[in-house]
Structure 1
Amino acid sequence: MLGAYTDSSGTMRGFLNTGAMPLDLGSFGGDTIPNALNDGGMVVGTSTNRAGQERAFSYGNGSMRDLGTLGGTYSSGYGVNHRGDIVGSASTANPAEQDLERAFLMSGGVMRNIGTLPNAT
């Protein structure tokens, strides 16, 4: 089971509860919100870094990893399958698209821009 709580400093912390004791997922310096868990125990979600940027993360084997972006400053992880393929959204480096999110698929450690639906803003 995934969840989140607010610690004594007011920071949101994500956790994974596998039975005996909840496991804190860590942080990049700010709030951490888990969004999905696969059957292998991999967690994906969003964590705010020290610069105030939201970043997609994966958690597995005891460590949290920043998944990067599509060249911009923002990303968020929303789902993960049993193979460890991750889907989410991220900003790009294109100034014309700076405030627009693009869907991504991360497979084999490579994040690919899979775009938007037609007529999406």
Structure 2
Amino acid sequence: MYSISEIAEKVDISAHTLRYYEKEGIIDPVRNENGIRQFDEHHLQWLQFVKKLRETQMPVSQIKEYTRLFLEGEHTANARLRLLEDHQQFIRDQIETLLGTDDMLSKKISIYKELMEKSMMK
């Protein structure tokens, strides 16, 4: 079992964020007899997944919806699949945009480098 500070360090998120996720129903830590939050390996894996979703700009509202569906059980598998497929398409669209921007920037950088080389030759 991990304390809130230990799990926060392992996942590289703040204890404040963990408390927020608990408040929003995204995570449900076990409480010991003193009321102290404790996290296990399942929580660790779940939080790593949630972190990846957040890093790829999935809104907390969608993560909450995914969590709700997950907790409802297997009969929600299609809805969870659609949610994840939609997010994957969002990520792919972002990658396409970023690659296009990277290409444009590479061309612009080449132009500036050429200009600088020409001005140094004079």
Name which one, 1 or 2, has greater alpha-carbon Rg. Answer: 2
Structure with more helix by fraction = 2
Structure with more strand by fraction = 1
Shorter-chain TM-score tier? under 0.3
Compute the TM-score of the two structures, normalised by the length of structure 1: 0.27
